[in-house]
Amino acid sequence: MKRNNIFDFCCIQCGRRLQIAAHGLCSFCYKEIKKFHYCGCCGTKLPENRQRCGICLLTPPLWQKIVFVSAFEDPLQSLIYRFKFQQDYWLDRSLARLLLLAVKEARRTHQLNLPELLIPVPLHHRRQWQRGYNQSSLLARYLSRWLNIPCLENVVIRQRATSTQRGKNSRQREQNMQQAFALKQRLPAQIKRIALIDDVITTGATMEAICCCLMQQELAEIQVWALCRTQK
């Protein structure tokens, strides 16, 4: 049997052999990821790409830019579940590559300027010990290497162990995040544009809570990057 590459790498979703191992997903599974136009501020699906939607013009979130791959649905949904809850941490490179492609696309479609620093969303130390890793940190490390942007993992800490956000409505998620984060170290004065890295953005409560911690830093722009943005 002829092998496509020396290590016989397979698609992380369907198991087909890959011509280029670093891609992670085969072309068939990649096409299953549904892309769409969205608001460059909140991430809401729109008929065409815009910097801000009508809602963001009136009541913008605490961040200024958003980048994501797709909505929270398969095949990404199942891959993220494996990545977070089934110890498939080795999916980090393939998933980070998808986010890298989304960042490059946003530079063209939403006039995204690259940040000067990447900050992964922290886990509480107890949850990270149970899982064995912080999935956001794994993504951020690859993006840092590929984009040549520094990554700091201890700027913000999760000082309170919150319950899972799954199954909560918007108000409950916001209440769950109150006083969950704290600023551990100040950023260098020259840093004015940062990106927060996470796997999924649902209501944005987690990102808003972290943005509140960073308000005193006098940042010009906070970006949020994620694999998925849940759509209403």
pLDDT digits (tens, 9 = 90+) for 10-64: 899 998 888 777 778 898 999 999 999 999 999 999 999 999 999 999 999 999 9
Cα–Cα distance, 74 to 78 (Å, whole number): 6
Fold of domain 33-163+170-229? Rossmann fold (3.40.50)
Q: What pLDDT is stored for residue 217 in this prediction?
A: 87
pLDDT digits (tens, 9 = 90+) for 85-110: 999 999 999 999 999 999 999 999 99
Q: Which two tokens stand for residue 109?
A: 């479609």
Distance of CA 231 to the CA centre of its chain: 15
Q: What pLDDT is stored for residue 60 in this prediction?
A: 95
pLDDT band at 1 (very low <50, low <70, confident <90, very high): very low
What's the whole-number mean pLDDT along residues 110-134? Answer: 93
- The DSSP line for 13-77 is TT--B-SSGGG-S-HHHHHHS----BBTTT--B-SS-BSS-HHHHHS--SSSEEEEEE-S-TTHH
- pTM of the complete model beyond 0.85: yes
pLDDT digits (tens, 9 = 90+) for 146-182: 999 999 998 998 877 665 655 555 666 556 666 678 8
CA distances from 156 to 55, 127, 175, 213 (A): 28, 16, 19, 8
Task: Enumerate the domain spans of the chain.
Answer: 1-32, 33-163+170-229
First to last CA, the chain: 47
Q: Is 192 left (phi over 0), alpha (psi -120 to 50) or beta?
A: alpha
Dump strand ranges (E) for 55-131: 65-70, 117-120
Identify the residue whose tokens are 């916001």. 174
Exposure on the CB side of residue 158, measured as CA atoms within 13 A: 18
Cα–Cα distance, 67 to 121 (Å, whole number): 15
pLDDT band at 225 (very low <50, low <70, confident <90, very high): very high
